[in-house]
């Protein structure tokens, strides 16, 4: 058993700011585990839709949570999960899930449950975790907090390009409208709204290549003696 201290790198930011790619590549460079916290909210949304639970009715969503059996595991240095023995896979990225996840994520009881599950993941080892409240709520005491942002049009362009690859279509204007709605919901919710965590290093990735953002984060970790 290793006696090395467990370190958490928190990478927050709005949708399509580049945080997923940056977090994944940072974790890979360090040999640590990558955690997409949003996948848990999408997983619950996917399951709610499967169970015909009305995602805009918080009481119905809250009633679903304790009935579910989650299993978390290390898959190629990324934390993945099954719910009731099923792996949702690419269905987490479906349009139905994307459009409903903000309603699910706004439910305080849901956030309490998922924050608790995310904190338990330190049992796997050091983590690079991305999301919207990692540095502000999940691991507010980590000294390694980063907030990635990019202008909305650039974010919409990136997300549309991703969708075009996966789904064969991606309209920038339509994606921009969707991202704007999501930003408003995420920033305006009462529980754990999207915000720049106290003490976070803000990185505007609008014109920065991903490799430069990763290098900047690795540089800060090395300077602090947290990474080789």
Give CA separation, 77 vs 21, 25, 68, 185, 220, in Å.
14, 11, 25, 31, 22
- Whether the Cβ atoms of residue 5 and residue 226 lie closer than 8 Å to each other: no
Per-residue pLDDT of the chain (228 residues; tens, 9 = 90+): 456 789 999 999 988 888 999 999 999 999 999 999 999 999 999 999 999 999 999 999 999 999 999 999 999 999 999 999 999 999 998 989 988 998 999 999 999 999 999 999 999 999 999 999 999 999 999 999 999 998 888 888 888 887 777 776 667 888 888 888 877 877 777 777 778 999 999 999 998 999 999 999 999 999 999 887
Domain ranges of the chain: 8-220
Buried b or exposed e, range 66-83, using 16+ CB within 10 angstroms? eeeebebeeeebbbbbeb
Q: How far apart are CA 163 and CA 170, in angstroms?
A: 5
pTM for the model:
0.89
Specify the CATH number for 8-220; select among 3.40.50.150, 3.40.50.300, 3.55.10.10, 3.40.140.10: 3.40.50.300
Q: Strand, helix or coil at 226? A: coil
């Amino acid at each position: 058993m290793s006696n090395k201290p467990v370190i958490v790198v928190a990478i927050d930011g709005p949708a399509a700011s580049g945080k997923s790619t940056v977090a994944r590549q940072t974790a890979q460079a360090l040999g640590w585990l990558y955690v997409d916290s949003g996948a848990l909210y999408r997983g619950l949304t996917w399951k709610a839709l499967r169970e015909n639970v009305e995602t805009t009715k918080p009481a119905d969503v809250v009633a679903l949570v304790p009935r579910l059996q989650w299993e978390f595991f290390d898959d190629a240095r990324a934390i993945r999960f099954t719910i009731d023995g099923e792996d949702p896979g690419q269905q987490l990225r479906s349009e139905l899930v994307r459009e409903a996840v903000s309603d699910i994520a706004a439910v305080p009881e849901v956030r309490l449950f998922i924050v608790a599950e995310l904190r338990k993941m330190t049992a796997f080892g050091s983590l690079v975790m991305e999301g919207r409240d990692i540095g502000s709520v999940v691991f507010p005491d980590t000294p390694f907090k980063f907030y990635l942002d990019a202008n909305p049009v650039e974010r919409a362009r990136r997300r549309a390009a991703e969708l075009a690859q996966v789904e064969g279509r991606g309209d920038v204007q339509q994606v921009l409208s969707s991202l704007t709605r999501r930003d408003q919901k995420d920033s305006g919710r009462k529980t754990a709204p999207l915000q720049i965590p106290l003490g976070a290093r803000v990185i505007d990735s609008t014109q920065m290549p991903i490799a430069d953002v990763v290098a900047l984060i690795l540089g800060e970790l090395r300077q602090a003696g947290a990474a080789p």
